[in-house]
Amino acid sequence: MNKPTLPQIKISDLSIIFNKSKHNQFTLLSKLNLNFFSNKIYFIVGNSGVGKTTLVHHLNGLLKSSDGDIFVEDIAILGKNRKIKDVKKLRKLISIVFQFPEYQLFKSTVEDDIIFGPLNFGLKKVEAKKIAKFYLNMVGLDDTFLSACPFNLSGGQKRRVAIAGILAIEPKIIIFDEPTAGLDPKGEKQIIDIIKKLKDKGKTIIVISHTMDIALEIADDILLIDKKTITFNGEPYTLFTNNQLLATTNVVKPKIIQIIDCLVHHNKNFVLLYSIKPKTIAELARGINDVLIKKGE
C-alpha cells in the first residue's frame, strides 16, 4: 500500500492581522488551512488587495504572523516563536521573484546580480559564475548579457535576469508575483515556457496573477482568495465554469472559456467542450472539430 504524499508546504490556522490589539485592528486573512504539494504549478488569484502577495511573503519568512503555523518541508515557522529558525535555509528552499524586477537588481552588471545569491550561500566565485551563465541561458539570454548593466535592459530582459538570479540559488519552490505584468505576448510566452520548464525539472511553482488565460493554460490548481479566506482550491476548469462563485469576484473568465460559453449558447452540442477542457486556442480548435465530427454536422 502506497504511503500518502506529504505536502511540501503546510499552512495551519494562519491568520494575518494588522495593528493587533489596537482599536484599528484589521484581519486580512483568517484561519487559513492549506497544503501545497511538490512539482505542481499553483496559481493564487483574487481581487486586488485580498492578501495574495502578503500570504506568499509569509511562506519564506519575509513576513511573519503570530497566529498560526507554516511548515516548509522540515522547517517550521511557528506563530508562538518570535524568530524563525534556519531562515537562510528557508530562503534557499523557497524564493520569490518579485513583481517589479528592479527590486532584485542592484549590481552594476547582470553577472554580479545573478551570482550575488549563490555567493551568499557559500558558493565559490568560479562556480557561481558558471551557474550564472547556465541560468541566464536558460531564461533565453545569451552570454553577452553577463557584462550588461541591468538597468539598461528592457522590461522583459530585466524580468528574465531577476528570474535567473533566483534560479541560481537553486530553490525547490519558486514564487512568481505577477510574472507577465507589462509584457507583450512574446514576453508572456517566454515566461510561460520558463515556468513549464521549471516544473519539468521538478520544481514547485506558485504564481500570483490576474491573467486568467495563463492560469487556465498552465495551472495544475487554482486558489481563489476572497472574504479573508480560500473560497476555492482545485483545478482550473472547475473554477472558471462556476458562474455563481465568479460573480462574487472581479476574476474574469479566460477567453477560451468565454468562447465555449458563447458556442454553447448558440449550440448545446458544444457543451462537450467543458469535458474536453481545452487550455489553448489550438486545443480549442481541435475540440470544436471533434464535437462537429461526433455530432455529424
pLDDT confidence bin for 297, thresholds 50/70/90: low
On the question of pLDDT at 122 being above 80, the answer is: yes
Convert the pLDDT of each residue in 46-100 to its tens digit. Answer: 999 999 999 999 999 999 999 999 999 999 999 998 888 889 899 999 999 998 8
> How large is the average pLDDT for residues 235-253?
94
**DSSP H or E run through 290:** helix 281-295
Query: Other CB atoms closer than 10 Å to residue 83's CB: what's the count?
Result: 9
Amino acid at 238: T
pLDDT for 187 equals 83
pLDDT for 85 equals 85
Instruction: Determine the Cα–Cα distance for residues 135 and 128; give it in Å rounded to an integer.
Output: 11
* Whole-number average pLDDT of the chain: 92
Cβ(216)–Cβ(279) below 8 Å: yes
Amino acid at 137: N
pLDDT for 22 equals 74
On the question of pLDDT at 153 being above 70, the answer is: yes
User: How are the residues of the chain apportioned to helix, strand and coil, as percentages rounded to the nearest 5?
Assistant: 45, 20, 35
pLDDT for 2 equals 59
Residue 275: CB partners within 8 Å, gap ≥ 6? Answer: none
Cβ(139)–Cβ(163) below 8 Å: yes
pLDDT for 140 equals 87
pLDDT for 99 equals 86
pLDDT for 156 equals 86
Cβ(232)–Cβ(223) below 8 Å: yes
Query: Other CB atoms closer than 10 Å to residue 285's CB: what's the count?
Result: 11
pLDDT confidence bin for 183, thresholds 50/70/90: confident
Instruction: Determine the Cα–Cα distance for residues 261 and 258; give it in Å rounded to an integer.
Output: 5
Backbone Cα Rg of the chain: 21
pLDDT for 273 equals 95
CA nearest neighbour of 53 among 167, 171, 178: 178
Cβ(209)–Cβ(215) below 8 Å: yes
CA nearest neighbour of 73 among 98, 47, 109, 36: 36
Residue bearing cell 477542457: 277
pLDDT for 184 equals 83
The grid cell for 257 is 472559456
Comparing 222 with 101, which gets the higher pLDDT? 222
On the question of pLDDT at 11 being above 80, the answer is: yes
pLDDT for 5 equals 81
> How large is the average pLDDT for residues 17-26?
84
Residue 92: CB partners within 8 Å, gap ≥ 6? Answer: 121, 169, 170, 171
Residue 203: CB partners within 8 Å, gap ≥ 6? Answer: 39, 171, 172, 173, 174
CA nearest neighbour of 106 among 176, 28, 162, 178: 162
CA nearest neighbour of 270 among 295, 253, 252: 295
